[in-house]
């Protein structure tokens, strides 16, 4: 019964993540004005999240080739997802703190780094693997398998969290100093603009928290499971499965629903007849949120 409940939690949360990520992918494909480099990185993040969620949903504990394919695909795209967040952090840092304008030239390197690392981690993962005995094909049962899973997933994940956290702190500090100088030098009227900018910047501080929120319970659960393999904590498993599966949804809201996307949607909605627009609560929300710093 516990396993069935966990499967349902996973399917429900993954479906939400799939829908959120698919929405961002669709926006990128449909709205030409969004195809700037910064949003292209968000597009690849959403694409990885979408596929990560998709393979989580189709998980089937029956042994065999399909199970292995599903397990490795989930691993590959979930690793790719958090690696794309590091490229976004790196781009922001390089642009804002180091004042470089060459980030677009680094795109091939980003692809090599993200897909290459994900592939290497997935290949290493296949060593000492005895999948298929847990609720999902993605979970491990043997001690070696658990250790390898930790090294190939949770170690790079926490590396990415530390990198993002450190990078965003530097970016926010740099921009806060610039804002303070601008406020000091200008008259009162610009202070409200500066404050709006600072509010948007502080949003970047939440980005590393998404990964921490999504995977903290999973990390604790893995460590506990490694130390006491026979003793499962049900509520911890529920939080582990649910929060991890929601990563795509959190990412699509934080990274994807920025002011450029909202403006693009808003412009399309403006073409709709008035009586239809009145029924859209989001339309009213977009109206109020237009004065916001555009990402990057």
User: What was the pLDDT predicted at 133?
Assistant: 39
Residue 78, pLDDT above cutoff 50: yes
Look up the pTM and report it: 0.83
Residue 293, pLDDT above cutoff 60: no
As a whole number, the mean pLDDT across the chain is 81
Instruction: Tell whether 62 and 47 lie within a shared domain.
Output: yes
Instruction: Tell whether 271 and 155 lie within a shared domain.
Output: no
Average pLDDT score over residue span 11-28:
94
How far is it, in rounded angstroms, from Cα 250 to Cα 96?
Answer: 24
CA-closest candidate to residue 104, choices 90, 86, 91, 89: 91
The DSSP code for 101 is -
Instruction: Tell whether 223 and 276 lie within a shared domain.
Output: no
Instruction: Tell whether 199 and 276 lie within a shared domain.
Output: no
Residue 162, pLDDT above cutoff 90: yes
pLDDT band at 284 (very low <50, low <70, confident <90, very high): very low
Q: In terms of pLDDT, which residue wins out, 215 or 256?
A: 215
* pLDDT tens-digit readout, 36-47: 888 899 999 999
Instruction: Tell whether 208 and 181 lie within a shared domain.
Output: yes
Instruction: Tell whether 229 and 172 lie within a shared domain.
Output: yes
User: What share of the chain in percent tops pLDDT 70?
Assistant: 78
Average pLDDT score over residue span 229-236:
86
User: What was the pLDDT predicted at 87?
Assistant: 94
Average pLDDT score over residue span 10-28:
93
How far is it, in rounded angstroms, from Cα 155 to Cα 9?
Answer: 25
pLDDT band at 145 (very low <50, low <70, confident <90, very high): confident
How far is it, in rounded angstroms, from Cα 55 to Cα 138?
Answer: 10
**CATH number, position 21:** 1.20.1070.10
Average pLDDT score over residue span 251-264:
83
Residue 229, pLDDT above cutoff 70: yes
What range does the domain containing 291 cover?
259-295
Output phi, psi for 204, to 5 deg. -65, -30
User: What was the pLDDT predicted at 180?
Assistant: 78
pLDDT band at 96 (very low <50, low <70, confident <90, very high): confident
pLDDT band at 275 (very low <50, low <70, confident <90, very high): low
User: What was the pLDDT predicted at 257?
Assistant: 81
* Cα angle, residue 50 at apex, residues 48 and 55 outer, rounded to 5°: 95
Instruction: Tell whether 263 and 291 lie within a shared domain.
Output: yes
Structure tokens at 31: 């709205």
Number of folded domains in the chain? 2
Average pLDDT score over residue span 76-102:
91
Instruction: Tell whether 212 and 274 lie within a shared domain.
Output: no
Residue 250, pLDDT above cutoff 70: yes
Instruction: Tell whether 57 and 80 lie within a shared domain.
Output: yes
Instruction: Tell whether 170 and 44 lie within a shared domain.
Output: yes
Number of residues in the chain: 296
Residue 5, pLDDT above cutoff 80: yes
Instruction: Tell whether 244 and 278 lie within a shared domain.
Output: no
Residue 132, pLDDT above cutoff 70: no
Instruction: Tell whether 82 and 16 lie within a shared domain.
Output: yes
Average pLDDT score over residue span 209-225:
90
User: What was the pLDDT predicted at 208?
Assistant: 80
């Amino acid at each position: 019964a516990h396993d069935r409940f966990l499967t349902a939690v996973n399917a429900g949360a993954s479906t939400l993540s799939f829908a959120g990520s698919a929405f961002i992918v669709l926006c990128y494909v449909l709205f030409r004005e969004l195809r700037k480099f910064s949003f292209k990185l968000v597009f690849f993040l959403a694409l990885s999240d979408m596929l990560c969620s998709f393979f989580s949903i189709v998980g089937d504990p029956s042994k065999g080739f399909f199970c292995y394919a599903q397990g490795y695909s989930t691993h590959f795209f979930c690793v790719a997802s958090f690696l794309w967040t590091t490229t976004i952090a790196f781009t922001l840092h390089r642009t804002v703190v180091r004042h470089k304008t060459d980030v677009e030239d680094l795109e091939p390197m980003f692809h090599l780094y993200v897909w290459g690392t994900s592939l290497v981690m997935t290949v290493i993962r296949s060593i000492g693997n005895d999948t298929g005995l847990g609720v999902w094909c993605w979970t491990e049962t043997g001690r070696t398998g658990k250790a390898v899973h930790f090294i190939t997933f949770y170690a790079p994940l926490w590396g990415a969290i530390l990198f993002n956290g450190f990078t965003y702190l530097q970016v926010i500090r740099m921009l806060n100093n610039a804002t303070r100088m601008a406020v000091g030098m200008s008259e009162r009227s610009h202070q409200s603009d500066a404050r709006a900018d600072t509010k948007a910047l502080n949003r970047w501080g939440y980005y590393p928290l998404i990964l921490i929120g999504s995977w903290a319970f999973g990390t604790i659960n893995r460590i506990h499971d490694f130390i006491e393999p026979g003793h499962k904590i049900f509520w911890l498993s529920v939080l582990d499965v649910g929060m991890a599966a929601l990563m795509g949804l959190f990412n699509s809201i934080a990274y994807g629903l920025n002011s450029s996307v909202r403006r693009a949607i808003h412009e399309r909605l403006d073409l709709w007849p008035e009586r239809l627009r009145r029924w859209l609560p989001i339309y009213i929300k977009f109206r109020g949120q237009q004065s916001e710093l555009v990402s990057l």
